[in-house]
Amino acid sequence: MIGGIAVADEILVGVDRSETSISALRWAVDEAARRRTTVRAVSVHMAQGHMIVRDDSRRGIATVTTQSVHTELAEALATIVGSLDITVPVDQVVLVGRAEEVLVDMSREAALLVLGSHGDSRVLTSLTLGAVTAHCIRHAACPVVVIPRCGQRPG
């Protein structure tokens, strides 16, 4: 507590199955070990009623049930976390909503937000940041660490 205000020490990390988000999770786990704190790994998907429209440039546009995507993300997140050499507690959360809004909201109770520079979307692969990452940098309530794509230099 500082001045009667609870200070969060948890590290929040957005995970969407992209290579950069997996690198972000690895970095967050290492940083949490140094700080002797915990990690909250969050995957977010967008629901439209009971259906989700997922734009996957490699396979086209698909419409699937919200529950199936929720289950798929939970399993993918568990697999990613399970594949890493983790020495700190990792809370795995799958939520429905707009990723940028959910992560900014959750950043209010985090010491640090860690994101990959680009997410699972293959729409933009330029040197610019992904839309979710750019939004979080501007609006997060805590410091944001951006992990670059492999081969990309931090800037």
Q: Which residues are CB-contacts of 57 (< 8 A; sequence separation ≥ 6)?
A: 121, 122, 123
Selection from 21-25, 43-47, 83-87 with the highest mean pLDDT:
21-25
Between the alpha carbon of residue 84 and those of residues 80, 96, 125, 142, the distances in Å are: 7, 25, 26, 25
Helix (H, G, I), strand (E, B) or coil at 74: helix
Residue 3, in any domain of the structure: no
**CATH number, domain with residue 84:** 3.40.50.620
Coil/strand/helix, residue 40:
strand
Could you tell me if residue 155 is inside a domain? Answer: no
Beta bridge partners of residue 2, listed in sequence order: 5
In a domain, 17, yes or no: yes
Beta-carbon count within 10 A of 52 CB: 19
Strands 112-116 and 11-14: parallel
CA 23, 29, 34, 38 torsion-angle sign: positive
For 49-88, write each residue's pLDDT tens digit.
Answer: 555 455 555 555 555 566 777 787 778 778 888 888 878 8
Number of independent structural domains in the chain: 1
Convert the pLDDT of each residue in 100-142 to its tens digit.
999 999 999 999 999 998 754 444 444 457 889 999 999 999 9
Beta-strand pair 51-56/60-65: antiparallel
DSSP H or E stretch at residue 51? strand 51-56
pLDDT of residue 66: 66
Give residue for tokens 């109770």.
Answer: 109
Q: Which domain holds residue 31?
A: 11-147
Examine residue 1 and state whether it is found in any structural domain, yes or no.
no
Residue 5: pLDDT band (50, 70, 90) is: very low
Q: Which amino acid is at 23?
A: S
**Does the residue 153 lie in any domain?**
no
Q: Is residue 150 a contact partner of residue 60, using CB atoms and an 8 Å limit?
A: no
pLDDT the model gives residue 96? 84
Tell whether 154 is covered by a domain: no
